[in-house]
């Protein structure tokens, strides 16, 4: 049995943050029903496409699935339902009656304009947990602002912390503004379901992209930085200590972090720089001597390969690792051993596609958390309407004919 088995979640999300949240819930065993419009969200039109004819950049064939839905649609049933039509919304309300949770990431006010916001849905199903992911939340002066990953990284202050002192503010290279809220949303849904099971009533879970990144920022002593005049951007180093940073080798770069006097003493012995021992007990701390210390370590690493540097530093108990390319997860032995990435499968093909997707980043000793392949757009429309709402084949065929439900033509 999977942890969330027996729970039904309606996935009314788009693009990254919401679909990511619902992927986690599906991988944990919830029955996730993804509801999309007749054309699907924008990711259905973004190449590359994968299908019986292999991988290509378009046009998209009937059996082709783009990479993004192939990755974030794993473990979900896919239903096409036109919520712009009242009859489509009525079918949606009937699904809400029979579901445990709803996740959506529309801007505030959109679902209210359609008559399917939380107050309306709570009246239908008081046990419903409704999770909404937005840029800035459902209240406050920024409520109406549109937001994307780059923008929320800027507003949160993270960009001011990222980059080198002599360069411009820089975004983090992955979409943390989208993915981190997806993680918090999944936690919020599970927590609200636990409370519902104890108290008998659901609730509204409000997850903001900005709040999520602020939570990451304030794990650091930001107040203290300002008080003592430490720079906002320090590149890969840290003004509070040394050596901390990236160092060039004969074949690349390594990242190194030293903590504690014992590590420091072992390191200067390793690189044959005992003359630096004086910095071990200086009351100002080694952070004040970063340039001297970093130069000494850099001179040593530049004469060795990355593997040699990592092996030597690991041998004295110091944290170090090679700076690897972004796609290294496919070949890194630790990632392979942990199965942190899984080959993406197409529902119509026997062999896996050449693409990979992240596995659920947790392991459970008594649960298999590998989700099923993603479905085609609208693949489960008939089955869901038949199994959950008891619609007849004739009723489903009529809905299809009128464009209310089904796959796009």
| Residues annotated as part of the active site | 178
Nearest-Å Rg of the Cα atoms of the chain is 26
Which residue in the block uniquely carries the two structure tokens 């994307």?
148
What is d(CA 113, CA 94) in angstroms, rounded to the nearest whole number?
A: 18
What is d(CA 343, CA 354) in angstroms, rounded to the nearest whole number?
A: 7
Which residues, including other chains, have CB under 8 Å from residue 182's CB and lie 6 or more apart?
16, 17, 18, 19, 20, 21, 24, 133
Which residues, including other chains, have CB under 8 Å from residue 127's CB and lie 6 or more apart?
100, 196, 200, 201, 202
- Residue 268, classed as helix, strand or coil, is helix
The number of angstroms, rounded, from the C-alpha of 377 to the middle of its chain's C-alpha atoms is 22
- The CA–CA distances, whole Å, from 63 to 44, 52, 163 equal 12, 7, 43
Which residues, including other chains, have CB under 8 Å from residue 363's CB and lie 6 or more apart?
338, 369
Q: Which two tokens stand for residue 341?
A: 């990435």
C-alpha closest to that of 184 among 159, 214, 156: 214
What phi and psi values does residue 150 have, to the nearest 5 degrees? -55, -45
Q: Sign of the CA dihedral 303, 308, 314, 316? A: negative
Q: Which two tokens stand for residue 282?
A: 């200086």
Which residues, including other chains, have CB under 8 Å from residue 350's CB and lie 6 or more apart?
none
Q: Which two tokens stand for residue 351?
A: 């062999």
- Do residues 359 and 342 lie in contact, with contact meaning Cβ atoms separated by under 8 Å? yes
């Amino acid at each position: 049995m999977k942890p969330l088995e027996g729970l039904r979640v309606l996935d009314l999300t788009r693009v990254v943050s919401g679909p990511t949240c619902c992927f986690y819930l599906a991988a944990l065993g919830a029955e996730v029903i993804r509801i999309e419009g007749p054309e699907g969200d924008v990711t259905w039109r973004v190449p590359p496409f994968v299908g019986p004819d292999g991988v290509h950049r378009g046009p998209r064939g009937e059996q082709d699935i783009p990479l993004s839905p192939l990755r974030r649609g794993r473990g979900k049933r896919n239903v096409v339902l036109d919520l712009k039509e009242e009859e489509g919304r009525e079918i949606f309300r009937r699904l809400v009656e029979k579901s445990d949770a709803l996740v959506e990431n529309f801007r505030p006010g959109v679902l209210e304009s359609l008559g399917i916001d939380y107050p309306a849905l709570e009246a239908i199903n008081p046990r419903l947990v409704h999770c909404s992911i937005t840029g800035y939340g459902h209240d406050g002066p920024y409520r109406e602002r549109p937001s994307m990953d780059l923008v929320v990284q800027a507003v949160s202050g993270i960009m001011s912390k990222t980059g080198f002192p002599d360069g411009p503010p820089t975004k983090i290279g992955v979409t943390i503004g989208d993915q981190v809220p997806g993680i918090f949303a999944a936690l919020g849904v599970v927590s609200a379901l636990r409370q519902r099971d104890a108290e008998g009533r659901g609730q509204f879970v409000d997850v903001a992209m900005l709040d999520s990144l602020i939570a990451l920022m304030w794990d650091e002593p930001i107040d203290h930085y300002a008080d003592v005049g430490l720079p906002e951007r320090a590149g890969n180093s840290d003004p509070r200590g040394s050596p901390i940073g990236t160092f060039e080798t004969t074949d690349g770069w390594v990242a190194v972090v030293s903590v504690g006097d014992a590590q420091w003493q072992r390191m200067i012995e390793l690189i044959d720089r005992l003359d630096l021992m004086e910095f071990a007990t200086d009351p100002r701390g080694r952070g004040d001597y970063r340039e001297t210390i970093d130069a000494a370590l850099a001179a040593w690493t530049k004469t060795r390969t990355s593997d040699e540097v990592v092996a030597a530093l690991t041998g004295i108990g110091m944290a170090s690792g090679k700076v690897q390319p972004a796609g290294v997860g496919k070949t890194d032995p630790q990632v392979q051993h942990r199965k942190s990435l899984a080959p993406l499968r197409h529902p119509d093909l026997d062999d896996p596609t050449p693409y990979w997707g992240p596995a659920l980043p947790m392991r459970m000793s008594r649960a298999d958390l590998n989700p099923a392949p993603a479905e085609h757009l609208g693949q489960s429309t008939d089955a869901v309407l038949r199994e959950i709402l008891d619609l007849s084949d004739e009723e489903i065929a009529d809905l299809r004919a009128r464009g209310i439900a089904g796959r796009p033509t």
